[in-house]
Chain A
Amino acid sequence: MVKSTKPVPDSMTPAPFRVTARRQDLADTFTIELEAADSPRGFAFRPGQFNMLYHFGVGEVPISISGDAGAGKLIHTIRDVGAVTHGLSTLKKGDMVGVRGPFGSAWPVDAAEGSDVVIVAGGIGLAPLRPAIQHVLDNRDRYGRFVILYGARSPKDVLYLPELQSWRGRLDTYVDVTVDHAESGWAGNVGVVTKLIERANFDATHAVAMLCGPEIMMRFTVAELTARGMDRGDIHVSMERNMKCAVGHCGHCQFGPKFVCKDGPVFPYGEIEALLKARGV
């Protein structure tokens, strides 16, 4: 065991960050931009990692990092579903947030170089994938075909709409979006996101897939992708479990022998297939 001779912050102590911008994305979803309050020293993270965000007096939640705003600024897109996320939704520019992180494994953006990249996201699952999408677009010549498939509940629930439109406008990127329930004015697809896989053009034997969304969506997506010939080891999924510490000490996020906080949240599907198929793991 490591000696603790000098005072170092405990792994449970949050660092102060300040909100530099806030945007309401959807009725229940918002994005905040954060900057370290002590020193604007930047914030190094890998696409797919997450932070623990603390709202004063209310509590802490694990939230994926959804982007790098440049100049050391950090982006989090959050859905207002519980006490802490609701607290965070009330933050304004200049307010303070506690941050611990970054934690966990990352999307295999380096290993995917030279291959086709297939992104499949459902709902707010697009938020943890955004840094990976940004990375591929920023280094577009290092990758093969780039496919982004996104499903939302309704046209009103389509996250990052301006970005989706801008990605779709590129000739080097294939973007397809579907909704479960259409409304008037929607000219796009209706149905589940797995239906989009069939007509997307990529070489399944030389591709890396990155999936984030409800577990049921990921299971059906894996079935489609493997039916097309993709290897289970080339499919990466981001998992969600209850988390209190993010450092492998609280035990809440255990998923069979894995800790979602430190072995995940991003796993090669082949590693967790049996766990995902069993109930109550």
Chain B
Amino acid sequence: MTNPAKPKSSKPDAFVMDANRLDALIGALASSGHAVMGPRVADGAVILGPVAGAADLPLGVTDRQEPGRYRLKTVKKDPAYFDFAVGPHTWKKFLFPPREKLWSAERAAKGFAVREDGIDAARRDKLAFVGVRACELAAIAAQDRVLTGGEYRSETYALRREQTFIVAVNCRTSAATCFCASMNTGPGVGAGHDLALTELGGGKDHRFLVEVGSTRGEKVLMALNAKPAKPKDVAAARAAVAQAAKGQRKMPKSAPTVLAGATDSPRWADIAQRCLNCASCTQVCPTCFCNTVTDTTTLDGSGAERWRHWDSCFTLDFSYIHGGAIRGDGAHRYRQWMTHKLSHWFEQFGTSGCVGCGRCITWCPVGIDITLEARGFVKDAKGKRKG
């Protein structure tokens, strides 16, 4: 992780601030030069975008998520700032933009000269995220390993990532599509944040438990005049998070090994009959990193650019080599996505590629549920062992 670990000291780790101090927190981040991003309501969904103050946050908004279905509801009594689960956007869109210019080139007398515009732009991008959930921290950590953990790293990602200040939020409710507890990524925030909030109480008693995750987090918090937390505040926060873990969907523990041996399963053809190959799951997934590049030229041919944009293993083009696509069948493409996410990722990067956020379940237009499909493969494997 980039966030510098907090030095051990006798100072308290947990503080309490009134809910109306959220404005001051956003203000402090903005005045220290950050572009502050957070949740807000647009087009009937909680999306992520610039927030100028607490008034922009979705106070009182809750959501109802099911396979292929997402609806918002506003509650009047004791409205909370963060009692909704993750929406269709992910923080990936800021750290690893859907479209990013990597470089441009100008034709010169003898050849051409390349200018790294992407790196210059990334250096200017000083971001603060407010409202990052535990599963999303796990997703950011997963993308860190892909884009910066190997022999080569994406410099634009690395620059943005290091400059980003993260205010995490512990979940005290789950959507019906969440399965973070079974992926060991949530609903409680573990690591990777600068500050972590837990919403407590309501009405006049509406407040936040604020926990410090890094030195720079501590610095920001000091400016907010938060009081040290009482043990009962900490206990209330832990209890709320424990409650959120209950009733979630579950990913079977054996999914990674079972899927590794399921290459020839007839289930792939069955899923392919339902899957529309629309790539929606890969666009809402917070860890999907597959991308492609497009080279362009100016009309007079004197300048050229290279852009990187999100791609999806669900497209035919994705596996194209001269002669045709390697994964010509929808069953091959779904198998690639699911085995990569749940199984091959371990071999490649040492962790699961799935963080249990449930977005792919909610935003699948036909409601394919990755946990249910995984259970199917596990059931087949058990049947085979017995047989």
Q: B-contacting residues of A (Cβ < 8 Å)?
A: 1-4, 7-14, 16, 18, 37, 54, 56-60, 81-82, 94-96, 98, 240-242, 244-245, 247-252, 254, 256-257, 259, 262, 274, 278-281
Q: 9 A-B pairs, CB-CB below 8 angstroms?
A: A1-B153, A4-B158, A37-B111, A57-B304, A60-B295, A60-B306, A245-B293, A252-B292, A280-B326
Contact bitstring B311-330, A, C-beta under 8 A = 1, else 0: 10100001111100011110
Residues of B within 8 A of A37 (CB): 111
Q: 11 new A-B pairs (CB below 8 Å) besides A98-B114, A274-B263?
A: A4-B162, A10-B102, A14-B114, A18-B111, A81-B322, A244-B311, A248-B152, A251-B289, A251-B290, A278-B264, A281-B263
Contact bitstring B158-184, A, C-beta under 8 A = 1, else 0: 110110000000000000000000000
Interface residues on B, range: 35 or more
Q: Are B291 and A2 in contact, with the CB atoms below 8 A?
A: no
Most B C-beta atoms less than 10 A away, residue of A82, A249, A250: A249
Q: Are B326 and A251 in contact, with the CB atoms below 8 A?
A: no
Residues of A within 8 A of B311 (CB): 244, 250-252
Q: Looking at chain A's contact residues, is the secondary structure mostly helix, strand, loop, or mixed?
A: loop
Residues of B within 8 A of A10 (CB): 102-103, 116, 118-119, 154-156
Q: Which residues of B in the span 310-352 have a Cβ within 8 Å of any Cβ on A?
A: 311, 313, 318-322, 326-329, 331-332, 335-336, 339-340, 343-344, 347-348
Q: Are B155 and A4 in contact, with the CB atoms below 8 A?
A: yes
Q: Whole-angstrom distance between the alpha carbons of A82 and B321 in the complex?
A: 10
Q: Are A58 and B295 in contact, with the CB atoms below 8 A?
A: yes
Give the shortest distance, in Å, between A247 (CB) and chain B (any CB).
4
- Tell me whether B54 is interfacial, beta carbon within 8 Å: no
Our pick among B292, B321, B327, B336 for the contact of A244 (Cβ within 8 Å) is B292
Give the shortest distance, in Å, between A106 (CB) and chain B (any CB).
14
- Tell me whether B236 is interfacial, beta carbon within 8 Å: no
Residues of A within 8 A of B1 (CB): 1
- Closest 8 pairs (CB-CB, A-B): A96-B111, A280-B332, A251-B290, A57-B297, A247-B152, A257-B344, A257-B347, A11-B152
Q: Whole-angstrom distance between the alpha carbons of A249 and B155 in the complex?
A: 12
Question: Provided the pairs A57-B301, A250-B311 are in contact, do residues A242 and B158 lie with their beta carbons within 8 angstroms?
Answer: no
Q: Whole-angstrom distance between the alpha carbons of A8 and B290 in the complex?
A: 23
Q: Whole-angstrom distance between the alpha carbons of A98 and B108 in the complex?
A: 14
Q: Which residues of B in the span 93-108 have a Cβ within 8 Å of any Cβ on A?
A: 102-103, 105, 107
- Tell me whether B375 is interfacial, beta carbon within 8 Å: no
Most A C-beta atoms less than 10 A away, residue of B144, B155, B264: B155
Q: Whole-angstrom distance between the alpha carbons of A56 and B114 in the complex?
A: 10
Chain B residue at smallest Cβ distance from A251: B290
Q: Whole-angstrom distance between the alpha carbons of A256 and B114 in the complex?
A: 35
Q: Are A12 and B112 in contact, with the CB atoms below 8 A?
A: no
Residues of A within 8 A of B296 (CB): 57
Q: Whole-angstrom distance between the alpha carbons of A7 and B122 in the complex?
A: 12
